[in-house]
Amino acid sequence: MRVAALVPAYQAAAHLGEVLLRLQALPAPPDTLVVDDGSRDGTADVARSFGARLHSFAANRGKGHALLKGFELLSDYEAVVTIDADGQHPPECFPAFVAAAEAGADLVLGARPRSRDMPGLRRFANGMSSGWTSALAGRAVSDSQCGYRLYGRDVIARTPMTAGRYELETEIIVRAARLGFQLAEVTVPTVYGDEQSQFRLVRDVPRIVGTLLRLSIEGVLPPAAMRAARRSSRPAAERTR
């Protein structure tokens, strides 16, 4: 399976190099694209010097915009693994995502234990949003906020996605599940260290809650894009017949 790595990066110069090195050290190193989102700290230079393919936005737009751009640029691959630039996602877990996809999953979600390694407020917010996401997706989702994931080509092509910041990752889970795609989870370690989070409570929590509210309404009143996607996407069960 041809799988690329997509690294959304914003102000990530401190940790990006190590992530890229560890990806290159895998037994089958993936082609890697860094989408630098208007960083002012040398993120683009680090990506270049470690030999990654680079796309840069002139000004900061948000992780969701970066993911959509990356999906577009990597549309030739059978799947894309998204991995954070801040060192929280061990590149050594990459093959486990690919194995889950090879076993039939369309969307593989990294799941971090909500242990004491995760800051208390994050643990609380993560539990709430994962519970709500599970209810909307109609299946257990252990960690709706983890950005370490594998997206199969069909999920990327057929799931309607709204550009934005972190809320895109919640939207994809719910919509992909509603379209009948097969979801799987891979347990990844919970890593918090000296990295600088770009998550802003006042800006990003309302965006995620707003998206969950919208997705709740969509369960009853699907928007035109989801109705069209339903008509064009065949659920995993049908594809195997």
Q: Which of 11, 39, 82, 88 binds Mg ion (CB under 5 A)?
A: 88
Segment interacting with Mg ion, rule: CB under 5 A, options 17-25, 79-87, 183-191, 214-222: 79-87
Count of residues interacting with ligand GTP (CB under 6 A):
21
Distance from C-alpha of 155 to C-alpha of 202, rounded to nearest angstrom: 30
Segment interacting with Mg ion, rule: CB under 5 A, options 12-20, 88-96, 150-158, 225-233: 88-96
Sheet (strand 79-82) strand order: 53-57, 32-37, 3-9, 79-82, 149-152, 107-111, 183-187
Site string for ligand GTP, 26-45 (x = CB under 6 A): ---------x-x--------
Residue 35 binds which one of Mg ion, ligand GTP, none, with CB within 5 to 8 A depending on kind? ligand GTP
Binding of residue 130 to ligand GTP (CB under 6 A): no
Helices (H), the chain: 13-24, 43-49, 63-73, 94-102, 120-137, 153-158, 167-178, 201-220, 224-232, 236-239
For ligand GTP, the closer of residues 70 and 152 by Cβ is 70
Distance from C-alpha of 213 to C-alpha of 101, rounded to nearest angstrom: 30
Binding of residue 60 to ligand GTP (CB under 6 A): yes
Q: Which of 12, 15, 32, 86 binds Mg ion (CB under 5 A)?
A: 86
Binding of residue 68 to ligand GTP (CB under 6 A): no
Near ligand GTP in 181-200, by CB under 6 A: 197-199
